[in-house]
Amino acid sequence: GVAWGIVLVAAYLLGSTPTGYWAGKVLKGIDIREHGSRSTGATNVLRTLGKGPALFVFLMDVAKGVAAIALARWLFSQPGLETQLPWAVTAAALIAILGHSKSIWLGFKGGKSAATGLGVLFAVALPVGLTAAATFLSVLAIFRIVSLGSIATAIAAPLLMLAFRQPLPYLLFALVGGTYVLITHRANIQRLLAGEEPRIGQKHAEPQ
Ligand code: G3P
């Protein structure tokens, strides 16, 4: 009852915390949703505000996911609640991801949930988080397209859950969360197929 309510509301509010939007406002007085890909994520912060702000926003967005899971683990480690812990962790993970891209502070818009998704993966299953990060960095190093790294990692996440023999709730989380991240990247997928997705350092074709 109460523990579920706290976990779900806190996960949503943590995910919703508009770090990329704040960075634009504080550092440059701009609304980042009017620049580049229009996303509030670290990639758009990189192309709009630069490396330092992007690193900061990335780390904060990862931390939001970690915090949501840490809270769920802490609350559901109480006696009588342990059996529900994997499901509470799964729900917190999905709600934190949802909150990042459907922020209550940004008219239910936001980022594409890649960094928050990575944070959640770290906290749900560390070996999966580490290999997911390695997947992302490998694709990024080869192609220099951030969205391609995010898309590859979203597809890899459920496979990594299987490879590391994680419990069923975590496999379901990776399937649903991975699919959700693919959906948030639909405009990127269209640009990739059209050969128009910018590489790191390239100017973004401003959408109309
Ligand atoms: O994490 C978001 C990244 O995968 C793509 O961002 O701004 O290039 O659409 P962006």
The answer to whether 171 and 91 have CB atoms below 8 angstroms apart is no
Ligand 1 atom at shortest distance from the alpha carbon of 188: 9
Residue in 21, 33, 44 to alter for ligand 1 test, most ligand atoms within 8 A of Cβ? 44
What spacing in Å lies between the alpha carbon of 114 and ligand 1's midpoint?
8
The answer to whether 41 and 61 have CB atoms below 8 angstroms apart is yes
pLDDT of 208: 36
pLDDT of 38: 96
pLDDT of 206: 57
Ligand 1 proximal residues by C-beta, below 6 Å:
36-37, 39, 41, 43-44, 112, 114, 146-147, 150, 188
pLDDT of 204: 79
What spacing in Å lies between the alpha carbon of 112 and ligand 1's midpoint?
7
pLDDT of 207: 54
CA angle 3, 11, 74 (to 5 degrees): 45
pLDDT of 205: 66
pLDDT of 202: 87
Which residue ranges of the chain lie beneath pLDDT 50? 208
State whether ipTM is beyond 0.90.
yes
